[in-house]
Structure 1
């Protein structure tokens, strides 16, 4: 794969066709392309991923239908914590100790571990964590639960293979991360950015500027409505327009720490629509998170100033739980 022929979104985020990943030479070229992307923007867009278009469309349809239900029906699957329905998606910027008004979105979240037994979930750390909660599924739409579970299975398979390509990109054996994700605590989250019928508060966005916490994020975003932006350098925000049939991939804090600063966990946000735009927007990230007890330590010397400010070794679950609690902490 010649870097001079790679297309980009907004001139910054590369678009990578991963359909060649089932061949040996194809995996070598893809690993090199992923390494280049993760050393610069920390983001890339994938096509040729193999997740059925019919499943993606069914996921979009049932999820949109859920968010358009009356408030009392959605509230039937609402509770404190990052699971089930939330009428507020939290204040994402607080995960970086930045104070802003709440994000302008609703959300619904489910965890891979949410289908385990109560006893199994209680063993996933001796502290509060969202992945220790049982999933709450709405009764309507009727296919909601089955579609989400099918989608999570497909995204898990894709994410696991992407992590193997990441390992190759870092000069490691492809199975290097397998035992760090074999009991993963991943989550699937839908963000519904409802129509903005009144002016936002100062500093209020659909999603405030933040980095993701964990391993890999695999994001579906609507093809026809933009809003996602990635920070380039100190103060330049680049649009990441939707490419039909694609997923947006970005690495999180833990994977960046694993690389010792070779790869970057990049700030991103979702901006508000134009003043006259009253459309809604749906995005669905799958957060592929390590095992709760995975030990994350740099594979190579820390090279960036930002990484010197982070602990050299963290326990994955403790880090992610701390970040999540900040996200939903009451504004001060």
Structure 2
């Protein structure tokens, strides 16, 4: 199994997208993963986003500790450490909306205050927030473009998903996997196998080695190679249910580098439906046997 690479230029520039939609459908139904190029996101912005993680290391220890997220929220900085206190990974997370007030002002439902707990930004680094806000705006544009293509691939109008994602909370996770100590097994799993839970994931990866792996149907693993300026796209469990399982939420993992000198970074943007959206299999995906999944509400 190889990970398909698809050029989005025709969709972005108003060209003929017939072949693109067909290839997208094949990739999503057979693999659940693909890479896209021609998305129009500035390479300089992507580089600035990755480089911004270095700014966190420049903070005084007390300021960095202030970013550590409490257990009740998915916002802020999280460091995964082993029993010896060594940092095995670091993740910084933020939502599209900085807090509940911003979400409600934009039209998001107000009934989930616990979900919209405030983002946690480094107070002394305004450029950090500005960079990530710009990156998220561009990533959401790619998400919207892809959702229109997905709708067409599933036999629906291109705007079918627009209302369901109009106020998407969109979670971003910035991941750093530092060089691993010598006693960590070569190619040991440093992010456990899992499917994503949302709609679409748009991920950019960088570093010294190809660490992202996708599980094949036979249980073996295939590598998602780093391609300059490409985004990795994969299906989440909600989208899989929307498609009645036609598009699988494929299990994937991250492994350690081959030596203690290798490190890795990734930026994952999880495109989520609006809260309280009802997800049920699209009519175009349901055959005579009926739907495989019952309707569920996003919350």
Check 1:263–1:77 CA distance in 2 against 1; reply closer, same or farther (3 A cut): same
* Counterpart residue number, 2:2: 12
Alignment of 1:282 onto 2:265: yes
Could you tell me whether the CA contact under 8 Å between 2:100 and 2:113 is conserved in 1?
A: no
Aligned: 1:314 with 2:270:
no
Is 1:82 aligned to residue 82 of structure 2? no
> What residue in structure 2 maps to residue 292 of structure 1?
275
- Where does structure 2 lack aligned partners over 5 or more consecutive residues? 82-86
Cα distance in structure 2, aligned partners of 1:58 and 1:294: 34
Shift of 1:141: 4.3
> Counterpart of 1:7?
none
The aligned residue for residue 89 of structure 2 is 105
- Is the contact between residue 257 and residue 263 of structure 2 (CA under 8 Å) also seen in structure 1? no
How far apart are 1:75 and its partner, in Å? Answer: 1.6
Q: Is contact 1:218–1:285 with CA below 8 Å preserved after alignment? A: yes
The separation in 2 between residues aligned to 1:15 and 1:256, in whole angstroms, is 21
Deviation for aligned residue 1:24 = 5.4
Residue 179 of structure 1: aligned partner: 163
For residues 39 and 303 of structure 1, what CA distance do their matches in structure 2 show? 19
Q: Which structure dedicates a bigger proportion of its chain to helix? A: 1
Of 35-44 and 218-227, more deviation after overlay is shown by 218-227
C-alpha distance in 1 between matches for 2:164 and 2:62: 40
Q: Distance in 2 between matches of 1:59 and 1:75?
A: 21
Matches of 1:170 and 1:78 in 2, distance apart?
Answer: 41
Query: Structure 1-normalised TM-score?
Result: 0.79
The question of 1:49 aligning with 2:32 is answered no
User: Paired residue for 2:227?
Assistant: 243
- In the TM superposition, residue 225 of structure 1 has moved relative to its aligned partner by 2.3
5+ residue gaps, structure 1, are 1-10, 90-102, 318-332
For 1:214-269, what per-residue CA distance to the aligned partner results, in whole angstroms no more than 9, with x for missing partners?
11100010164210000111311000010001100001000110001111110000
Task: Please give the TM-score of this superposition, normalised by the length of structure 2.
Answer: 0.87
Task: Give the CA RMSD over aligned residues.
Answer: 2.8
Distance 1:226 1:140 in 2: 34
**Structure 1 residues 240 and 69: CA distance shift in structure 2, 3 A:** farther
Across the two proteins, how many residue pairs are aligned to each other?
A: 287
Alpha carbons of 1:147 and 1:119: their partners in 2 closer, same or farther (altered >3 Å)? closer
